[in-house]
Chain A
Amino acid sequence: DAGITQSPRYKITETGRQVTLMCHQTWSHSYMFWYRQDLGHGLRLIYYSAAADITDKGEVPDGYVVSRSKTENFPLTLESATRSQTSVYFCASSASGGLLSYEQYFGPGTRLTVT
């Protein structure tokens, strides 16, 4: 009963490198989300997906790419990492979107440091 998992949990990379953060959920939830959390700020939505092969931008999508070929996986790629992308990244899933009061379930997070 894994729920929602993220890998790696910690990652250090250099400026300009490509890095992919993985997210996997076992509930067959339709919606999946990527957020970043920075000190002193609320969570900010990067991308979300309403179903396999359907993705859309959130509040802060620049510099990130997502894909969703399977319902259970939602990887986030930083194509050319910058220091401003140093953050904690959370993946979440939900049976539906926020409009219908469905809960979002969060993974444990990936702490990414770009040097």
Chain B
Amino acid sequence: KNQVEQSPQSLIILEGKNCTLQCNYTVSPFSNLRWYKQDTGRGPVSLTIMTFSENTKSNGRYTATLDADTKQSSLHITASQLSDSASYICVVSERDSNYQLIWGAGTKLIIKP
């Protein structure tokens, strides 16, 4: 069964610190992997999309990595800010489907001043 699992479920860090969120997936065949940020009470917003051939992608202070061999991805946040408090969701697309996205349950990140 295609699954996406994220860890940790929740994380609290101090403002200015770095953190790394993990994503493991069993989706096959693989098409692409996305990271979304979801603020409380809002819809998800895309941070990065990576295909099979990409192993690193950055968007400002967010850097996503992908190891397609081990089926793992990580999202690294540098110099965290209070506005980074949100849920971060890993989403994997199945290659043979033109609509099917497999969503992780998300990591809830809280940045404390």
**Is B49 on the interface with A (CB-CB < 8 A)?**
yes
For B103, list chain A residues within 8 Å (CB): 42-44
A residues in contact with B99, CB < 8 Å: 31, 33, 45, 48, 50, 56, 58, 97-99
Q: In the assembly, what is the distance between CA of A31 and CA of B100, in Å?
A: 12
Given contacts A42-B4, A99-B95, A101-B31, contact A106 B100 (CB under 8 A): no
How many residue pairs, one in A and one in B, have C-beta atoms under 8 Å apart? 69
Is B49's CB under 8 angstroms from A92's CB?
no
A90 is an interface residue with CB less than 8 A from chain B:
yes
Do the beta carbons of B105 and A101 come within 8 Å of each other?
no
Interface residues of A (CB under 8 A from B): 31, 33, 40-45, 48, 50, 56, 58, 90, 92, 96-101, 103-109
